[in-house]
Structure 1
Amino acid sequence: MNVLFVAAEVAPYVKAGGLADVAGALPQALRAAGHDVRVVMPHYRALRETGVPMEGPIGASFLPVGAHAEEQRIWRATTSAVPLYFLDIPAAFERAAIYGEPDDARRFILFARGVMDAMQHLREVDGWQPDVVHCHDWHAALVINYLKSYYAYTFGHIATVFTIHNLAYQGQVHPDVAHLAGLGEGGLVENGLGPGIANSFNSMARGILYADVVTTVSPTYAREIMTHEYGERLDGLLRRRGDRVTGILNGIDTAVFDPSTDR
């Protein structure tokens, strides 16, 4: 299959936590199993400062966000074992921080819009289109929302997987952000998702709601997040989608961490 991974961090290029390890190692394992896996992530300032080898730009466009548009350039890593694309959106990622910025919602709306643009570029220029889009945590969740709504005519047939690494971080913001994202026309889907989620815009909730399959980092965690104690106010939604939720235990990349040889 053709599989596109979408993640805000990918080891060894940018890493804040375990998400980056999965987004770095799992595509390599899937390629070794015979699948054409590619990865897309933001082009953070740190990539330029550390001199990560890349070629391009291989594509350029303007991304809508509310009444404005921001420039994007697409670069391709030249030394990665897996085809890896960096989305260079200066308004969102030309800064030191990965997360924790006051405008994170706008930043990752732009990232999701950029992914859709990159998918169109890959289809038109390379003749490549994913059978599966695999998105990780709230930063990438709106890609699934766009695939099932705004871009459904073009890409609605593509299967989607949403992986929850940390349910506590949801990208929950003011409901006006729905219009910023261009997703306000149908109203707030969050209003039907229970107390604490209604009257907000919640990227994590949208990923869970629209994905064909929802996975998380272990079978135990998959069970825990369906409980009121650990569900972070999304347990009702997760139980509703329970037949599509599964836990797959995170392993280790033995090419990097080999207990038999690493003292």
Structure 2
Amino acid sequence: MSNIKVLFASAEAVPFIKTGGLADVTYSLPKALRKLGIDVRVILPKYSQIPEEFKEEMVTITDFPIEFKGQQEDCEILYLEYDEVPYYFVGNGYHFEQNSPYQVKGGSIYEFKDSEKFAFFNKAILETIRYIDFKPDIIHSNDWHTGMISVLLNQLYCHEKDYSNIKTIFTIHNLQYQGIFPKEILKGLFGLEIENIDIEKLEFYGDINFMKAGINYSDIVTTVSKTYSKEIQTPEYGEKLDGLLRKIGDRLYGILNGIDYDMYNPETDKDIYVQYSVDSIDKKLENKLKLQKELGLPERKDVPVISLISRLVNMKGIDILIKVLNEILSLDIQFVILGTGEPFYESILKEYEYKYPEKLSVNILFDNKLAKKIYAGSDIFLMPSLFEPCGLGQMIALRYGTLPIVRKTGGLNDTVKLYNVFTDEGNGFSFTNYDAYDMLYTIKRAVKFYNDKKVWNKLVKRAMERDYSWKNSAKEYEKVYKTIYN
């Protein structure tokens, strides 16, 4: 093991609890970093929804009281090793017993419950360091849920021996969600006197912003792709924090996420119909025929199957998709959609499925096994996002030899390169403007190349041969760790 010790703080992680891509990163990145010899350990809330099979394996290593909201609250720390990564879980019978890791929006009561829950979690992480046999050199916080760790460290803990040399890294996974709460919580939840703190670093239009706090108080700020790190410094993508992000300058790094190559491997994947590799891409066709059969579509070898696996919300480009869905379905294609989201979009897509039963399969659910079958069984993967900090779907699709059509934004721009017929470069198809007809034109272009099997098979092989694993990204994080550790 390297002598760098990192405590990786996150609100979610596969396979314990997942609402989005943060959970995938929290599982995969520490695993990749440990392979480089860095002693990374993950700390999470012990939610009531964590599957019993994992709870039964957890071992309580310590418990202690935390002063919170003017009273003593119990905190239990449990330990579990999973896939060779050590995990600590913060247990508390009140804060982590709700039905969902995050409260739905719709009133200050819900927002305040989230502020309480994650305030307790942030404080518990720092208190845990007193009681466990692991003194981190770096705390790596992720998204707004852990944004106050660096503030507490700076204001309340830094003068103590166990904390005085701890450095902090804060990763922005999605700037849209910032954790904005009334400023009274500074005293009420964190015990911070407003007059003793630089309120400018936390204040956001009269409230307190956990994301802004994490950005201002951490030694280094990273985000999940190079393009997104530039985009969030503009008013269009900066979510009212673009001025701050421009100001921190060279403290901001863009490091592209990867995907877990053990989890997503068509050669060994037991969830797909037929395993295949870059040397046996003909077997991908068998996956297509079986997918068509399972979803009730005509079993046709010659038709390109386009897939979309996504939350059905505006951010993912569903509005521009619906605008030209009639035109898309008038092409000689089949279209498979998997995901859940806004009821408005769900019902419209189901109406289209009723209208085009031979061409469209709409599956309103989230099913990871079905998702993998779709990645393996489709030819083209559509990801027309309005913005996309990194995106994992396009990388998984490439891994399975399914060529992406993406909008050039965030991590999509960093991973999918437009196929150029003249230079024979590229691994997919892309469009620049957030425009339904630009997307439609790009889909038609991809379908045209699908019918040129010589070109198409070459692109499929190219997609499968490139490395989208965490290996390269983990090395970038290692460099950043060493920058502030040394």
**CA offset digits 1:152-173 (Å, max 9, x no partner):** 1121321111000011111101
- The one-letter amino acid paired with 1:236 is G
Worse-superposed segment, 230-239 or 58-67 = 58-67
Residue 225 (structure 2) aligns with? 218
Residues 18 and 192 of structure 1, relative CA distance in 2, 3 Å threshold: closer
Query: Which of 94, 98, 114 is equivalent to 1:104?
Result: 114
Q: Structure 1 residue 184 and structure 2 residue 193: aligned? A: yes
More helix by share: 2
Work out whether 1:119 is the aligned partner of 2:122: no
For residue 241 of structure 1, give the secondary structure of its aligned residue in structure 2.
helix
2:255 corresponds in structure 1 to: 248
Alpha-carbon distance between aligned partners in 1 of 2:201 and 2:217, rounded to the nearest angstrom: 14
* 8 A Cα contact 1:227 1:235, kept in partner: yes
Residue type at the aligned position of 1:5: F
Q: Which deviates more, 168-177 or 96-105? A: 96-105
Superposition RMSD on alpha carbons, in Å?
A: 1.9
Equivalent in the alignment of 1:162: 170
SS of corresponding position for 2:159? helix
For 2:138, the equivalent position in structure 1 comes to: 132
Which residue is equivalent to 2:31? Answer: 28
**TM superposition shift of 1:198:** 3.5
Alignment map for 1:1-263 (pairs within 5 Å): 1-47=4-50, 49-100=52-103, 102=110, 103-122=113-132, 126=133, 128-154=134-160, 155-180=163-188, 181-186=190-195, 189-191=198-200, 197-259=204-266, 262=269, 263=376
Q: Which runs of 5+ in 1 are unaligned?
A: none
Residue by residue over 1:110-132, the C-alpha shift from the partner in whole angstroms, topping out at 9 and shown as x without a partner, is 0011101111112xxx2x21111
**Runs of 5+ in structure 2 lacking a partner?**
105-109, 270-375, 377-486
2:433 equivalent in structure 1: none
Q: State the shift of 1:61 in Å.
A: 1.6
Offset of residue 13 of structure 1 = 0.9
Say which SS state the counterpart of residue 148 (structure 2) adopts. helix
- Structure 1's 159 and 191: CA in aligned 2 closer, same or farther, altered over 3 A? closer
Query: Which TM-score applies when normalising by structure 2?
Result: 0.51
- Higher relative contact order structure (alpha carbons within 8 Å, sequence separation ≥ 6): 1
Rounded Cα–Cα distance in structure 2 between residues aligned with 1:192 and 1:72: 29
1:41-64 deviation per Cα after TM superposition (whole angstroms, max 9, x unaligned): 000001264553434321112222
Matched residue pairs, number? 257
Q: Deviations over 1:13-71 (max 9, x none)?
A: 11111101111011111111111111100000012645534343211122222223321
Q: Aligned-pair distance for 1:94?
A: 1.4
Does the 8 Å CA contact 1:225/1:231 hold for their aligned counterparts? yes
| Alpha-carbon spacing, 1:227–1:7, altered in 2? closer, same or farther (3 Å) | same
Query: In 2, Cα distance between the equivalents of 1:78 and 1:251?
Result: 22
Distance 2:214 2:256 in 1: 20
1:185-233 deviation digits (Å, cap 9, x = unpaired):
4456454678xx1321111100000111000010111111111111111
SS of structure 1 residue aligned to 2:55: coil
Where is the strand percentage greater, Structure 1 or Structure 2? 1
Task: Tell me by how many angstroms 1:260 deviates.
Answer: 5.2
Identity %: 39
CA distance in 1, matches of 2:52, 2:267: 35
Compute the TM-score of the two structures, normalised by the length of structure 1. Answer: 0.91
- Greater mean alpha carbon deviation, residues 102-111 or residues 182-191: 182-191
Amino acid at match of 2:136: P
Preserved contact between residue 16 and residue 54 of structure 2 (Cα < 8 Å) = no
- SS in structure 2 at match of 1:45: coil
With over 3 angstroms needed to count, the CA separation of the structure-2 counterparts of 1:187 and 1:200, relative to structure 1, is farther
Q: Which amino acid aligns with 1:250?
A: N
Quote the offset at 1:100 in angstroms. Answer: 1.5
Query: 38-47 vs 59-68, which deviates more?
Result: 59-68
Go from structure 1 to structure 2 and tell me whether the alpha carbon gap of 1:88 and 1:221 turns closer, same or farther (over 3 Å shift): same
| Greater radius of gyration (CA) | 2
